[in-house]
Structure 1
């Protein structure tokens, strides 16, 4: 994980503290690279001390937004504010932010201790003080025993921790993380995302975390901002984002969704013979479908039912069934494994949805 520490001038603080949490605002931010628009009027506010995840598919503008905030890219129009101050004219090394990149490249000729202390040395901190503070940061990330080891003597996860400690060495007010866990295996990734969250909460530092991994975003963030084609689709808490997505794109990007045909009624839509109220608006034209999560699909054994069980995937306490309706529509349903045993592949089932408002979209092309 390459780490660039961008800092503000001023007296150093004690290790384990920050210079205060900042409010970050993107206002009507635009950035284009030739004919490609990376950011198309992004409006987003990051609250003091929160961890906000920027989530979206490749090319949606999330890393561009991060790099503009760090000062590594210039925006074409709009504003970037930190505590109400437009920072456009402030150079990267004075923006008081620490950035941790996707690919790590610690200085191979420096020990872990010296890598962490590097920014302090560039700042002119005395040798004894910077070593003391670097030791404390290594304690903070759980690697005091690796102080004299070189990068090639450490695992990828350990190098990630060293890079994070280096980003925190100058107590930045904003921490920027650009997919810092993507190069690690699943078990180490899980451990480190918990560690990053713990440190962020302990330090109270405003943090932006870029990821394309929805599980990472939902498990770590206070709020998640979903971007699409340079625009903000929705920014909400993980539970709200999952349970009440504002758009069909958010619904299908965050978690698993099935689409089931429906028809308009005077007060909502009709799905599988039942009427449902609609959460949001009903598109004015076109064929309609409701979007439903697997845990909200209710199945029961029924020889005359409209659903044919196609496959069953064992997931532990839950088994995910895929069923096919008579019109060919496939729907996923999560059932307790014990209940799913009564619905083997080839059997038929009744299918209903809970009596609650549904999200409706035009039929996918």
Structure 2
């Protein structure tokens, strides 16, 4: 039953009720390494989480993000490296003494217990008095917006309600660190949106240090104080959402977070500038071996102008609410995406001829795609 319960260590407080102190912990993962047979799950991961922040681990399947989270929880053990919480090395500490609460994608509620007893389960294991654990469970149900669902069993609750119960159970023992393993991926889009806002509100209200694993870019960017993008067991970049999107450190981050166009370019001026679409632009960061490279441009940065004599043409338009995404075919047959406000896009229907240009600023470049 270890995975289903909150993995929080005992705290010496009056009457056995966990205190509220210590919830804003510092977490450090130092040079974590883990292999499973011939598969390298973590390859020297270094990561620090600040007190009280929500940090999202984002990356493709198999990048090591869930392995890192399970190591912090104590469910997996590294082959090498250290895990520190508030400067204390907990690498060898068993899961039930890690002082971490974990919420799983699958909810992991006990089907034979009602919502109140599910929330109070960890307190019961700590021998907290019945009246105190009932009061604490009722307080948590109120906190997650389900004060009238205490007598309901898991099968009587919706997916979103079950996940709220799982969150309340993880918070019942006031852990120093909250770990969320893709907790919203099993929910439908509307419930997912509501619940991610609720989780963020609770996390900020409680000030608890939180690690959130997700493969959903929008989820990570909208919820997290910082996002750590992982690839093949290593950290590519850890930054605030705006910086991650606007100034990605690597080509992988640039293409994994949001939508990115690749345009054919040629390095010049000793690889400090690149020529593309008739413009010479400074290179942002380190350039790969060239001279032929790809220039990485966000759809909103592409500039379009209607031109009956233009050599590019619109091939498709997709309404996305505030913007319309146009697919534009360049003279060499390359398709790129361009985001325009709806009223501007209206004049560029599929079939329209136009000219394409780039903004006058430094750009990321990557090795030419095969």
Give TM-score, length-normalised by structure 2. Answer: 0.96
Q: Tell me by how many angstroms 1:11 deviates.
A: 3.3
Select between 109-118 and 281-290 the one with higher mean Cα deviation.
281-290
1:218 and 2:221 correspond: yes
Paired residue for 1:269? 274
Cα deviation per residue 1:161-207 (whole Å; 9 max; x = unaligned)? 00000000000000000000000000000000000000000010000
| Equivalent position SS for 1:9 | coil
Matched, 1:356 2:361: yes
Paired residue secondary structure (2:243):
helix
2:289–2:367: 8 Å Cα contact kept in structure 1?
no
Deviation at 1:357, TM superposition (A): 0.5
Q: Is the 8 A contact 1:49 1:204 kept in 2?
A: yes
Task: For 2:321 and 2:256, locate their aligned partners in 1 and report how far apart those are by CA, in whole Å.
Answer: 24
Q: 1:287 aligns to what?
A: 292
Equivalent residues in 2 for 1:59-74 (5 A)?
59-74=62-77
Deviation for aligned residue 1:14: 7.0
Shift of 1:142: 0.5
Q: CA deviation at 1:17?
A: 3.8
Cα distance in structure 2, aligned partners of 1:120 and 1:104 = 18
- 28, 46, 51: which one aligns with 1:48: 51
User: Are the counterparts in 2 of residues 22 and 83 from structure 1 also a CA contact under 8 Å?
Assistant: yes
Is the Cα contact below 8 Å between 2:11 and 2:18 reproduced in 1?
no
2:67 alignment partner, SS class: helix
Alignment RMSD (CA, Å):
1.4
Distance, in Å, in 2 between the alignment partners of 1:325 and 1:54 is: 36
User: Does structure 1 residue 132 correspond to structure 2 residue 165?
Assistant: no
Partner of 1:91: 94
State the match for 1:304 in structure 2.
309
Shift of 1:317: 2.5
**2:8 corresponds to 1:7:** yes
Quick one: which of 309, 321, 325 aligns to 1:320? Answer: 325
Count residues with an aligned counterpart.
Answer: 364
Separation of aligned partners in 2, 1:128 and 1:203: 23
Q: 1:339 to 1:307 in 2, by over 3 A?
A: same
Following superposition, the deviation at residue 19 of structure 1 comes to 3.1
* Alpha carbons 1:295, 1:335 under 8 Å: kept: yes
Segments of structure 2 that go 5 or more residues without pairing to the other structure are none
CA deviations over 1:226-259 (Å, ceiling 9, x no partner): 0000000000000000000001100010000010
Q: Which position in structure 2 is the counterpart of 1:78?
A: 81
Question: Using a 3 Å threshold, how does the CA distance of structure 1 residues 276 and 111 change in structure 2: closer, same or farther?
Answer: same
Aligned to 2:194: 191
